[in-house]
Amino acid sequence: MSRSIKYARPGDGKYSAEYFTNVNRYPDKCPICNVVLEPRIIYASYSINGNSEIVFFCTKRECQSLFISYYFSGDITEWQYLRSAPHNLVTPEFSEEINEISPLFKVIYGQAYIAENSALNHIAGMGYRKALEFLIKDYLINFLEKERVSIEKKLLGKCIKDDVDNSNIKQVAERAVWIGNDETHYVRKWETKDVSDLKKLIDVTVHWISSEIITKRVIEEMQ
Ligand SMILES: [Zn+2]
């Protein structure tokens, strides 16, 4: 819905009813609390390069944050909404079984996810590789009850080879490590594989580990 707003011009910085324009719309939701509510305009600044900015105030009582929305305003009578910042990402959730055996997996995966969504793709790959290491080693120590000290010391690839019996997990996790190691090394071995392939393999590993935990629990509960 097109709305009329007042704005400030560069130079005098005056924010008054003298300058009026239309915007095609307000942002749908607050980018910080992700709640859909009518935000209040605090200040709008016109830019001659076509990227004008509006400071909004979130009216949700528990949030009350300020955020900036960017509008394209070049050579047009109605500014066009582009995006809002800061963008508060909702990081992926994992099942209770996974969080229980490896609480840090979710934390590290979430940080890698934030890096990936901030265009920090090199850091993201290393982060996902680290998340995978925590998941597998925690699975071995906390679920399969392998000896902690020996697992901690061993390289991840060797842990998978020596200590993982479930062939589904073994096959998938092994390949995830191959791609994951590429993310941390100077020379890439799997040139056609990237972070999205690594994420897919981690997702499948998570799936097989969850399935194994649930299967064991169901059998124990229903002898
Ligand atoms: Zn908010």
| Distance in Å, CA 107 to ligand 1 centroid | 23
Parent domain of 197: 96-221
Question: In the predicted model, is pLDDT for residue 150 greater than 80?
Answer: yes
Task: Give yes or no: residues 51 and 146 share one domain.
Answer: no
List, as ranges, residues with CB under 5 A of the ion ligand 1.
30, 32-33, 58, 60, 63
Distance 83 CA to ligand 1 centre (A): 15
Q: Please tell me the distance between residue 4's alpha carbon and the centre of ligand 1 in angstroms.
A: 22
Determine the distance from the C-alpha atom of residue 128 to the mean position of all C-alpha atoms in its chain, rounded to a whole number: 11
Tell me: the pLDDT tens digits for 31-80? Answer: 998 889 899 999 999 888 888 999 999 999 999 999 999 999 986 789 99
pTM higher than the cut 0.75: no
In a domain, 91, yes or no: no
**Tell me, what DSSP letter sits at residue 141?**
I
- Minimal CA–CA distance to 32: which of 74, 72, 89? 89
Contact at 8 Å (CB) between 70 and 55?
no
Per the prediction, the chain carries an average pLDDT of 91
**Which helix (H) or strand (E) covers residue 122, if one does?**
helix 121-138
Query: Alpha-carbon distance 197 to 82, whole Å?
Result: 30
CATH number at residue 122: 1.20.120
Q: Are residues 196 and 107 in the same domain?
A: yes
> Could you tell me if residue 90 is inside a domain?
no
The Å distance, Cα 27 to ligand 1 centre, comes to 11
